[in-house]
């Protein structure tokens, strides 16, 4: 651990992987299909991104993990020299619920691409990740929906723990780390039990899963509070699928080190610009003649060169460059925000940053929501 915050559980550290160090707290851009949408690996390196996330289920389906292995592994396949974390496919148990059947041995999917049967369990998920050669492999788990009954959540925890024990025994790629995933929905006793039993099995890091699956915002941080207590301080802690800046700050204050979310690039494809103080819809008529950069004070290449009016024009006429520019700006914002948090923890100014984000983000989001309403009317 490199530094801690005296007023909270926030900490900054360094996670060592087979493809280099990762400074935490860190945000991992999502590259589901072995690419961060609209971005090149060179651009991600220019942003000083230290780790990307790719998806086991989708890469197994297309182009196939055996093909990727024959071509030298995922790093070589996508020309990415730094760390990669692969999700296990457990989230697809939730997101593809209409196309799967759960058994004690794993999950039988119907492929959303061609309808072909796909079976994935703990053995299969870890074998795929070993062939991909990711630096961090997530254990196969069951992510329950929200809401769900205590009985369903309990069954999901039982399966997650059973599968975790199987995953832990599987062979690894050279230097590969295994992370367990805490489940339990909104039930404190289930989350605490799941966390404790995962720690008893013993993994290189631990994730908090089953959040950001449709529950109210306040339950996201409650899920962290229910899960994080038993997790060891000398292992990285990863909150899965969470990406709003106030959520990141509050989770870091609770001791979380790693995050991922599709939000920066997904919102960019819909013309939404993310800033330190909130997001706004660039497609709106209010920005048609706006000569300002996408975000005042931003140092990204987009804000240094282009106006809101120009990027809005590109988005509204369907030019690919528009999506690329907004994606670059949004990802730059996340990279710099995490760097700002690390610096604040190290310099003892994290409490001030925490207060500022909570106040400013809410204020500007309300302003832009009002503007969206006016444009609609």
Give the catalytic positions in this structure: 87, 260
CB half-sphere exposure, 163, CA atoms < 13 A = 33
Task: Name residues whose C-beta falls within 8 Å of residue 276's C-beta, 6 or more positions apart in sequence.
Answer: 245, 295, 333, 337, 357, 360, 361
Give me the DSSP letters along 232-277. -TTS-EEETT---HHHHHHHHHTT--EEEESHHHHHHHTTEEEETT
Cβ neighbours of residue 12 closer than 8 Å, sequence gap 6 or more:
1, 2, 3, 4, 23, 24, 25, 341, 342, 345, 346
* Among candidate residues 58, 166, 66, the one with its CA nearest the CA of residue 118: 58
370 in helix, strand or coil? helix
Cα–Cα dist 283/158, whole Å:
47
What's CA 256's distance to the chain center, in Å? Answer: 12
Tell me the β-bridge partners of 179.
Answer: 138, 205
Cα distance between residue 193 and residue 161, in whole Å: 10
Q: Classify 137 as helix, strand or coil.
A: strand
What are φ and ψ of residue 326, in 5° steps?
Answer: -70, -40
3-state secondary structure (DSSP) of residue 187: coil
Phi, psi of 149, rounded to the nearest 5 degrees: -75, 160
CB contact at 8 A, 350 and 8: yes
Q: Which helix (H) or strand (E) holds 55?
A: strand 51-55
Bridge partners (DSSP) listed for residue 208: 182, 239
């Amino acid at each position: 651990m490199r530094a801690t915050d005296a007023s909270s559980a926030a900490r900054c550290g360094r996670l060592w992987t087979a493809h280099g160090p990762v400074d935490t707290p860190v945000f991992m851009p999502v590259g589901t299909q072995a690419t961060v949408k609209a971005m090149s690996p060179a651009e991600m390196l220019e942003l000083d991104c230290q780790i990307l996330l790719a998806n086991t289920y989708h890469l197994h389906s297309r182009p196939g993990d055996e093909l990727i292995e024959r071509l030298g592994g995922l790093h070589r396949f996508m020309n990415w020299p730094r760390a990669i974390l692969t999700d296990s496919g457990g989230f697809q148990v939730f997101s593809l619920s209409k196309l799967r059947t759960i058994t004690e041995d794993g999950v039988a999917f119907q492929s959303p691409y061609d309808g072909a049967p796909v079976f994935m369990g703990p053995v299969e998920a870890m074998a795929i990740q070993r062939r991909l050669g990711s630096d961090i492999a997530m254990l196969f788990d069951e992510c329950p929906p929200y809401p769900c009954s205590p009985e369903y959540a309990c069954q999901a925890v039982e399966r997650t723990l059973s599968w975790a024990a199987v995953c832990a025994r599987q062979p690894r790629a050279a230097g590969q780390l295994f992370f367990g995933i805490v489940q339990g929905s909104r039930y404190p006793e289930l989350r605490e039990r799941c966390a404790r039993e995962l720690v008893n099995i013993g993994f290189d890091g631990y994730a908090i899963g089953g959040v950001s699956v449709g529950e109210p915002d306040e339950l996201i941080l409650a899920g962290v509070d229910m899960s994080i207590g038993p997790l060891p301080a000398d292992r990285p802690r990863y909150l899965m699928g969470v990406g709003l800046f106030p959520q990141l700050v509050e989770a870091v204050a609770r001791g979380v080190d790693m995050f991922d979310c599709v939000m920066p690039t997904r919102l960019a494809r819909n013309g939404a610009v993310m800033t330190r103080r909130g997001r706004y819809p660039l497609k709106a008529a209010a920005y048609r003649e706006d000569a300002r950069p996408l975000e005042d004070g931003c140092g990204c290449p987009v804000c240094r060169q282009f106006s809101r009016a120009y990027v809005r024009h590109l988005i509204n006429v369907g030019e690919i460059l528009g999506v690329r520019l907004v994606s670059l700006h949004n990802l730059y914002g996340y990279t710099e925000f995490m760097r700002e948090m690390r610096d604040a923890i190290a310099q003892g100014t994290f409490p001030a940053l925490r207060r500022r984000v909570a106040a400013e983000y809410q204020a500007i989001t309300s302003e832009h929501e009002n503007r969206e309403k006016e444009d609609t009317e």
